[in-house]
A and B are shown apart, each in its own frame.
Chain A
C-alpha cells in the first residue's frame, strides 16, 4: 500500500459512496435471490422477486443439485376434423393424426451440431415447465388434467379467475392451478401452431410428456439395460387461435 496523499473531492466521494453501497446491496440481494432458501431470503420476499423478476432474473444452480439425467419428450397428436366431429370420436368419423414426438424431431438438427439454432429447444423448454407445474398439482387435479376439455369447456370445469373458483379452492391451491393452466395454455398454443405447420391446422390437440431416465452409471456398458419412463398426460383440448402474422411464420 503506497503512502500517497490524495485530497478527495467531495462530489467524487459522494458518488463513490452512493454507487458503492448500491453495488454492494445489489450483489448481496443477488446472493439472497439466487441462493438456497434461508430465513434471510424468506424475510426479503416478495421484494426480492419484485426486484429480480425481469431483466435481472437469474439462477445459477447449473446442472445441480441433480444433473440433467433424463431425455424429455413433448409428444402430441391432433384431430383434423371440425370440433363437433372430433368431439364424437373416431366412431363419429373424426380424423386423428398419428402421435408425433416433437422434441425428437427438433433434436435431429442438434445431433452432431454444436451450433444448432434455438428452435431445437422449444418443445423441451415447454416440457420442463409444464411437467413441474403439473407436479405441483394435487392428486385429484392431476387426474383431472387427463380429461378432455373441449368445445369451450374450461379446464377443471371452472374459470380459474372467477368468484366460483375462489370459493371452490384454497388460495395456494388456486395459485398452483393457475400456474399450471398458464403453462398448459402455452403448450396447447405451441401444439396448435405445430399442427398448422404439419397438417395445415387442427381443431383439437392431445399432449403427452414423456421422461426416459438415462441408464444408471453402473449399467452403462450393459446394452440390454433399460429404464422405466414416466408420463404426464394432458387430454384433448381445443386448439388456440392466432393472428395472421403468427400463422404466416408457422405455415
Chain B
C-alpha cells in the first residue's frame, strides 16, 4: 500500500476568509436582488387573498341576521369598554351610527370582500376593505376570535403587497388586452417586505402559541386537549369529543403533536422536505380545530396565510390538475388552454417563486 504524498491543506479560518473574500458583498447583492427583482410568492399571496377573502365574506354573510345587534347600534352596551379600549378614527366610525348607516357600511364591506376575492383594483380595495372590516370588528372586540385578530393585522401588511398579479380580475384584464404590467422597483421592495411580514407574523403566532403551551401543567402531562373539547363552548359535537377523548393515547398524542408542530414550525421552514411536513401537520391541526372545536373561521384564516409558504410551482401544478379535472367532468368541454400567463414562467422561476421556497 502506497502512501498518498500529495500535500493536504489543513482547514483554517484564514484560508476560508481568503477563499470567501467577497462573501459580504455577495450576500448584500443577493439580498438586494431578492427584494428588487421579483414580486415573490405571487401565487401564494393570490391563494391567501382568495381564501381569506372568502372566509371573511362567509363570516359577514353568516352573521347578517344578528349584525345590527352585535356590531351595530345593538352593541351600545359595550360603550364603557369601548371608551377605553376602542379604536381611533376612522375605525370607530360605527360607534354612534344608526341602523341605516350601519346597514350601508355592512353592505359595502360585503361588496369589498367580493372585490377582494376577485382581485379587482387591489391597491385601492385592500386598504378600504381593511377599514370597513376593522370598523365592524372594532364595535365588539370581545366576541372576536384569533382569526379576526390575525386577519386584521394581515390586511395591514397586505396593503403593501401586489395581490392581483395572479388569478385575479386585474391579471385577466391585462392578459386580455395583451399588456404587460409595469413593475416599479420600489413597489417590488414593499411587496417583498410585506411578504416577509406575513411569514414573520405566522411564525411568531405558532411559536408563541407553542411556547405558552409548554408552560402549562396540562399540556406537559398530555391531557390538555381533552378539556376544551369537553366544554360546552368548544365541544360542539359531544359524540365526536367523546370518541376522540375516550382513548388516553390519542389525547396525549394530539396534545404533544400540537405543541411540537407549533414550536417547530418556524424552524421547519428552512428545508423544503421539513417545510412540507410542517405545512401538512399545521393544516391537519387547523382542520381538527375547525371541525372538533367549531372554529372554522379561525382555522380557515390561519390556513389561508400558510398558502404563501407553498411554492408557485406547486400552485401551478395544482391549477393544472384542477383544470384537467374540470375538463374531464365538465359538459362544456373546451380545447385545452394555457393556464399560465405569458410572462409567468420568466417571472416565476421555482427557486424565486416564493418567500421561503
Do A and B actually bind? yes
Residues in A lying within 8 Å of B, measured CB to CB? 1-6, 8-9, 11-13, 15-16, 19-20, 23, 26-27, 30-31, 34-36, 53-72, 104, 107, 110-119, 121-122, 124-126, 128-129, 181-183, 185-186, 189-190, 192-193, 214-215, 217, 220-221, 240, 242-243, 245-246, 248-250
Inter-chain contact B216/A64, CB cutoff 8 Å: yes
Known pairs A54-B87, A60-B204, A68-B233; A6 contacts B32 (CB<8 A): yes
**A201, B304: Cα distance in complex, Å:** 44
**Distance in Å: Cβ of B337 to nearest Cβ of chain A:** 34
Q: List 23 A-B contacts (CB under 8 A).
A: A8-B32, A16-B193, A26-B197, A30-B204, A31-B208, A54-B91, A56-B153, A57-B141, A58-B150, A58-B153, A65-B217, A68-B227, A68-B228, A71-B233, A113-B294, A114-B290, A119-B69, A129-B81, A182-B83, A217-B227, A220-B245, A245-B99, A246-B77
**Distance in Å: Cβ of A170 to nearest Cβ of chain B:** 20
Residues in B whose Cβ lies below 8 Å from that of A3? 22, 26
**Distance in Å: Cβ of A107 to nearest Cβ of chain B:** 6
* Cβ proximity bits B276-298 to A, threshold 8 Å, 1 near / 0 not: 00000000000000110010100
**A118, B196: Cα distance in complex, Å:** 32
**A69, B234: Cα distance in complex, Å:** 10
From B63, B77, B98, B218, A190 is in contact (CB under 8 Å) with B77
Residues in A whose Cβ lies below 8 Å from that of B146? 60, 62
**A218, B318: Cα distance in complex, Å:** 45
Known pairs A62-B146, A65-B219, A129-B142; A186 contacts B81 (CB<8 A): yes
Q: Is B205 an interface residue (CB 8 A)?
A: yes
Residues in A whose Cβ lies below 8 Å from that of B153? 55-56, 58
Residues in A whose Cβ lies below 8 Å from that of B134? 55
Inter-chain contact B80/A182, CB cutoff 8 Å: yes
Provide the main secondary structure of the chain B interface. helix
Residues in B whose Cβ lies below 8 Å from that of A217? 223, 226-227, 248, 251
Residues in B whose Cβ lies below 8 Å from that of A129? 81, 142
Inter-chain contact A189/B76, CB cutoff 8 Å: yes
A26 to B, closest residue via Cβ: B197
From B98, B225, B246, A67 is in contact (CB under 8 Å) with B225
Q: Is B7 an interface residue (CB 8 A)?
A: no
Inter-chain contact A31/B204, CB cutoff 8 Å: yes
Inter-chain contact B230/A215, CB cutoff 8 Å: yes
Residues in A whose Cβ lies below 8 Å from that of B69? 119, 249-250
**A86, B58: Cα distance in complex, Å:** 45
Inter-chain contact A61/B233, CB cutoff 8 Å: no
The 3 closest A-B pairs by CB, nearest first: A189-B77, A65-B216, A125-B142
Known pairs A5-B29, A189-B77; A214 contacts B231 (CB<8 A): yes
**Distance in Å: Cβ of B163 to nearest Cβ of chain A:** 18
Inter-chain contact A214/B197, CB cutoff 8 Å: no
Q: Is B185 an interface residue (CB 8 A)?
A: yes
Inter-chain contact A69/B218, CB cutoff 8 Å: yes
Residues in B whose Cβ lies below 8 Å from that of A30? 201, 204
**Distance in Å: Cβ of B156 to nearest Cβ of chain A:** 7
Inter-chain contact B233/A64, CB cutoff 8 Å: no
Inter-chain contact A69/B231, CB cutoff 8 Å: yes
**Distance in Å: Cβ of B281 to nearest Cβ of chain A:** 16
Known pairs A118-B66, A190-B77; A68 contacts B36 (CB<8 A): no
**Distance in Å: Cβ of B105 to nearest Cβ of chain A:** 14
Inter-chain contact B74/A19, CB cutoff 8 Å: no
**A8, B30: Cα distance in complex, Å:** 11
Q: Is B8 an interface residue (CB 8 A)?
A: no
Inter-chain contact A1/B30, CB cutoff 8 Å: yes
From B30, B213, B236, A110 is in contact (CB under 8 Å) with B236
Inter-chain contact B212/A61, CB cutoff 8 Å: yes
Known pairs A23-B197, A63-B224, A67-B225; A220 contacts B230 (CB<8 A): yes
Known pairs A27-B201, A56-B156; A117 contacts B65 (CB<8 A): yes
Interface residues of B in 17-60 (CB under 8 A from A): 22, 26-27, 29-30, 32-33, 35-37, 58
Inter-chain contact B196/A23, CB cutoff 8 Å: yes
Inter-chain contact A107/B233, CB cutoff 8 Å: yes
B292 to A, closest residue via Cβ: A114
Residues in A whose Cβ lies below 8 Å from that of B85? 53
Inter-chain contact B190/A243, CB cutoff 8 Å: no
From A5, A58, A116, A119, B149 is in contact (CB under 8 Å) with A58
**A109, B320: Cα distance in complex, Å:** 41
Residues in A whose Cβ lies below 8 Å from that of B294? 110, 113-114, 116
Residues in B whose Cβ lies below 8 Å from that of A248? 73, 99
Residues in A whose Cβ lies below 8 Å from that of B149? 57-59
**Distance in Å: Cβ of B153 to nearest Cβ of chain A:** 6
Inter-chain contact B212/A60, CB cutoff 8 Å: yes
Inter-chain contact B185/A12, CB cutoff 8 Å: yes
Inter-chain contact A189/B79, CB cutoff 8 Å: yes
B99 to A, closest residue via Cβ: A245
Inter-chain contact A67/B143, CB cutoff 8 Å: no
Inter-chain contact A60/B208, CB cutoff 8 Å: yes
**A147, B40: Cα distance in complex, Å:** 62
Inter-chain contact A121/B143, CB cutoff 8 Å: yes
Known pairs A65-B216, A125-B143, A217-B251; A186 contacts B27 (CB<8 A): no
Residues in A whose Cβ lies below 8 Å from that of B228? 63, 67-69
From B63, B99, B186, B190, A11 is in contact (CB under 8 Å) with B186
From B22, B80, B156, B227, A185 is in contact (CB under 8 Å) with B80
Q: Is B253 an interface residue (CB 8 A)?
A: no
